Structure 1
Amino acid sequence: MDEATDDQAVRVGQRITAEVVSVDLDGGPVELSMAATEHPELWAFLKSLSLGEILSGTVAAIERFGVFVALDDGPEHPLFAGVGFITYPELSWSHFEAATDIVQVGERVSCEFLQFDTWNGEARLSLRATRPDPFQAFADSVAVGRLLDGVVTKLVPFGAFVRVADGIEGLVHLDELSRTPVAAPEDVVRVGDRISVAVIELDRERRRLALSCRLGAARPPDSA
C-alpha cells in the first residue's frame, strides 16, 4: 500500500483497531496492521506458516516486481492476485531475462515459505529453494587454480562475465583480463568470445566466482 492510499485510509485523530505485528526492543516504533483486524482469516493463515514449509499453488499473475501465487490452502488476498509472492531473485538459481522464462500464468508450482510479509499481508516464497543449486555442485568439482573454457556473456565497466558451465557465470575483473593494463573490457574481449580462464576465488556462501584470463592463458583449459 503506498503513502497516498494510507492517507486516504486514515485521518489524524481517527480511532482505529489494529494488531501489533512487530516491536523494536531498542526503543524504535511499534508496527501495527489494520489489515490484520480487517482480514483475520488471511492473518491467521499467514501466522500459521513455518519457515521452510513447502506450499503449493498456481501462478496467478506476473508483474515487473515479482510473481503472485494463489495458494491451494490459503484464502484470497483482498488486494493482490495471490497470497503467495515470489521476488525475481527467488525464481531461479540461473540468470534469466524475464519471469516468463521460468514460470507461466496458470502453472502449478511448489515453493518454500521464507517469511510473512506483514506490510503487504503475503507469504514470501522461493521457487529456487526447492531445486538443486547448480553453484554448489559446481563448487564440489572445481577448486581454486582450475583452468576452464568459457564464453563471455556480458561486459561491464569493471570487467567481463564468463559462463564456464550450465547456469554458472564468473567475473573476470578488469585487472585480470590481460597481462598488460587495459582501459575497458572491450579492448580485450567481446560477448560470445570463447576464452580460457582460471578460478582464483570460489565463495560458496555468496555464490561468487572470480576468474582470471592472465592465468588462464598459461596453458590449455580443462573442459567444462
Structure 2
Amino acid sequence: DIGNVPLVDKYGVLIQTTFELAKFEEILAALQKERSGEYKIEKTICLATSKRQKAALKLADEVDAFVVIGGRNSANTRHLYELVAEHCKRAYHIETASELNEEMFKNCQNIGITAGASTPDRIIKEAIRVMENMESFESMLEQSLEDAHVYPGKIVKATVIQIGKDEVYVDFGYMKEGAIAFSQWSNEAPEILAQTIKIGDEVEAKVIPGTSKDDFIRLSKIKAEQDAAWNYVADLAEGEKRRATVKVLRIIKNKMKNIVGLAVAVEGVEGFMPASHVELRRVEDFSDYIGKELEAEVIEVDTAKKRLVVSRRDLLRSEKEAKAQAWRDAKEARIQAAKEARTAAEEAAYASVEEGQTVTGKVVRIADFGLFVEVGQGLVGLVHNTELSWDRNVKAEDAAKVDDEVTVLVKKIDRENRRVALSIKATQEDPWLTEAAAFKEGMVVEGTVERFLPFGAIVKLADKVEGLVHVSEIAETRVEKPEDILEIGQNVKVKVIKVDLKHKKIGLSIVKAVKEAEKAEYSSFINDKPELTLDLKEQLEGLNN
C-alpha cells in the first residue's frame, strides 16, 4: 500500500496497539526507503501484546501444531495467528472449542496454545478441556509420560553404533536411537570426523529439539561439551573483569539483518562480543575477523542463563594509552638526554674559556639590546649594545648578521646564573687613545668650542678627542659662565695642561695659551738684540700676577 502514500516533506507514523512489532518495523523500513523525508514515529503497541507475540513466536518453533484462540475480528488475535503461521505449518485460528477435531492434531507430539488479549478465559478453558478429552490426546499424554525421561536439554551417555554420510548414530538405552549430525559433533571438517570416529566410542550428548517425524532422537555433542564447560566458567564480581583469548566463530545479526556482534569461543564456551566492543572505531565489515584469535576481557558472566559477554574496548583503550604514555616517556627521555648533553657541553665550554680571554664565536641571535654569540658548544654569551663598538651610534643589526663570526673578549663569566658577558669593543683599539696620543702636556693647540658646562667649556681638538677648559682657565678675570666669554663654534688656542689617558680626560687652558703666546713674542724680541738681553722672567710674572 506504500504506493498510495503521497510525496510530502514530513510524515507521522502511528502503530496500532495490537499490531505485530516486527512487521511494523519491516513496513516502516520500506516506507522510509520509498518516501524520504522527516519522520515522527509513535510506537503505541501495548507492552503486554508485544511480550505475548514474542512468546508465541518462540513457542511456534518448538511444537508440531499451534492453536490460536480468539475472535476473527480481533486484530490482536489475527496478528498472533499470522505470526505463528509463518513458523508452524499446522497453525489454526479458532473462535470456539466446537471448531476443534482430532484430524487437526494427527501425528502431533507437542501442541502450542495461545489466545488474544481480549479472548475470555471461559473460551480458552473450554477449548483446552475439549482437546484433553480427545482420544488422540489421551494417547499423546501416555506417550509423553513414557518419554518423560527424554526431553530437550537432557544430557545422556551414548555409544557409537554406526557412522553415516553426514551424521553419527548412537545408542543411549532408549526405544529410539540417537543421531548426532557432524555439525553437532565437532567443528572439524566432515572428512576428518569420518576417519577419527570409531564404532564403540562413548560420548556425552545433549537432547535437542526435533520433530515427531524423526526416526531418531536428535542429539548434540557440541552443546553437551559447552554445558559441561559452563561448570568451569568462573563468575565475575560486580565491576570485575578478566583477560581472555577468544576465537571469533561467526557474525551475529538481528531480525533486521543488522550486525549486532560476534560469536566467540572463550573459556570453553560460546560468548558474545557486541559490535561496538570489537574496536575503538566503527567497523563496517567483520568478515576478516572470523577465525581470528583476539585478546579481550570477560565483562559479564551469567552461568544460569549461560551468557558470557566479552569486550576489547577497554583493553584497546588501555593499550592505546600505554602506547601514548610510552611515546611521551620516550620523548621526555630524549628531551632529558638532550638537556643533559647540552649541560655537559656547557660545562665543557665553561671550562674552555676564561675571563679576559679573546675568542672567536658565531652570532646565533640578534636582539634590540645586543648580540648573542656562541663561543663554545652550548655556551652562548651576550655582547651588549654598549660593547659593540667604540662608536655609540652602532646598533646590533649593524654590527653583525646571524651566523657571522666575530672576535670577542670574555669580560665576565657567571657560572651560577649561566651568564657570559662578551665585548667586541674590547678587542678593537680605542680611537680616542690613538688620537689623544698626539697631545702632550705643555703643547699649545687650536680647538673649537663644542658646548658649555656649568663649570667650563668643551673644546674639540680632533675627530675623537675633546678637552675641558675650566672656568678658571678661560680668562684672567673672574668668569661666572663660560658663555659670557666664549661662543659655540669659536676657534680658540688652548694649552694642554693635563692628559689622563686612563680616565680619558684632557685639561686645557686658554689663559696659559695666551701667556705662552706673549712669552714667545717678547722672547723673540729679546733674542734679536743680544746686548739688551735681560732676564725679566720673574718680574714679568710678578706683574702678571
Structure (1/2) with the larger helix percentage: 2
SS of the equivalent of 2:461 reads strand
SS of the equivalent of 1:141 reads coil
CA change 1:113–1:191 in 2 (3 A) is: farther
Q: In the alignment, what sits opposite 1:48?
A: 352
Instruction: Give the letter aligned to residue 383 of structure 2.
Output: F
In the alignment, structure 1 residue 212 sits paired with structure 2 residue 509: yes
Name the % identity. 26
Equivalent-residue separation in structure 2 for 1:74 and 1:191 (angstroms): 54
In the alignment, structure 1 residue 60 sits paired with structure 2 residue 382: no
Note if contact 2:358-2:407 (Cα within 8 Å) is conserved in structure 1: no
Q: Residues 118-177 of structure 1: CA distance to partner in whole angstroms, max 9, x if unpaired?
A: 576332222222222234334543321101112223322122222211211122222222
CA change 1:140–1:73 in 2 (3 A) is: same
Q: In the alignment, what sits opposite 1:84?
A: 382
CA change 1:158–1:143 in 2 (3 A) is: same
Equivalent-residue separation in structure 1 for 2:435 and 2:454 (angstroms): 27
Instruction: Give the letter aligned to residue 54 of structure 1.
Output: V
Alignment map for 1:10-159 (pairs within 5 Å): 40=343, 41-42=345-346, 44-50=348-354, 51-58=356-363, 60-63=366-369, 67-71=370-374, 73=376, 75=378, 83-86=381-384, 88=386, 90-93=387-390, 96=392, 98-100=393-395, 103-104=398-399, 106=401, 108=404, 109-118=406-415, 121-159=418-456
Q: Residues 8-59 of structure 1: CA distance to partner in whole angstroms, max 9, x if unpaired?
A: xxxxxxxxxxxxxxxxxxxxxxxxxxxxx9x835465345322232333337
Give the TM-score, by structure 1 length. 0.61
CA change 1:76–1:45 in 2 (3 A) is: closer
Equivalent residues, number: 172
Q: In the alignment, what sits opposite 2:478?
A: 181
Equivalent-residue separation in structure 1 for 2:400 and 2:481 (angstroms): 41
SS of the equivalent of 1:165 reads coil
Q: Report the Cα offset of residue 190 of structure 1.
A: 3.5
Equivalent-residue separation in structure 2 for 1:184 and 1:106 (angstroms): 48
SS of the equivalent of 1:186 reads helix
Which piece of structure 1 moves more, 67-76 or 148-157? 67-76
Note if contact 1:91-1:102 (Cα within 8 Å) is conserved in structure 2: no
Q: Report the Cα offset of residue 76 of structure 1.
A: 7.1
Kindly report the root-mean-square deviation, in angstroms, between the aligned alpha carbons of the 2 structures: 3.3
SS of the equivalent of 2:512 reads helix
Alignment map for 1:182-201 (pairs within 5 Å): 182-201=479-498
Instruction: Give the letter aligned to residue 70 of structure 1.
Output: V
Q: Highest Rg: 1 or 2?
A: 2
Equivalent-residue separation in structure 2 for 1:73 and 1:201 (angstroms): 44
Larger RCO, structures 1/2 (Cα 8 Å, 6+ apart): 1
CA change 1:188–1:105 in 2 (3 A) is: farther
Instruction: Give the letter aligned to residue 349 of structure 2.
Output: F
Structure 2: gaps (5+ residues) = 1-339, 519-545
Equivalent-residue separation in structure 1 for 2:486 and 2:351 (angstroms): 52
Equivalent-residue separation in structure 1 for 2:500 and 2:494 (angstroms): 17
CA change 1:85–1:182 in 2 (3 A) is: same
Equivalent-residue separation in structure 2 for 1:176 and 1:101 (angstroms): 41
Equivalent-residue separation in structure 2 for 1:110 and 1:167 (angstroms): 24
Instruction: Give the letter aligned to residue 150 of structure 1.
Output: G
Note if contact 1:135-1:204 (Cα within 8 Å) is conserved in structure 2: no
Structure 1: gaps (5+ residues) = 1-36, 78-82
Note if contact 2:358-2:427 (Cα within 8 Å) is conserved in structure 1: no
Q: In the alignment, what sits opposite 2:457?
A: 160
Equivalent-residue separation in structure 2 for 1:176 and 1:137 (angstroms): 26
Instruction: Give the letter aligned to residue 373 of structure 2.
Output: A
Note if contact 1:42-1:121 (Cα within 8 Å) is conserved in structure 2: no
Equivalent-residue separation in structure 2 for 1:182 and 1:112 (angstroms): 46
In the alignment, structure 1 residue 170 sits paired with structure 2 residue 467: yes
CA change 1:75–1:216 in 2 (3 A) is: farther
Instruction: Give the letter aligned to residue 106 of structure 1.
Output: K
Equivalent-residue separation in structure 2 for 1:110 and 1:134 (angstroms): 18
Equivalent-residue separation in structure 2 for 1:102 and 1:191 (angstroms): 35
SS of the equivalent of 1:181 reads coil
Equivalent-residue separation in structure 1 for 2:416 and 2:447 (angstroms): 44
Structure (1/2) with the larger strand percentage: 1
Q: Report the Cα offset of residue 211 of structure 1.
A: 1.1
Note if contact 2:388-2:396 (Cα within 8 Å) is conserved in structure 1: no
Equivalent-residue separation in structure 2 for 1:181 and 1:62 (angstroms): 48
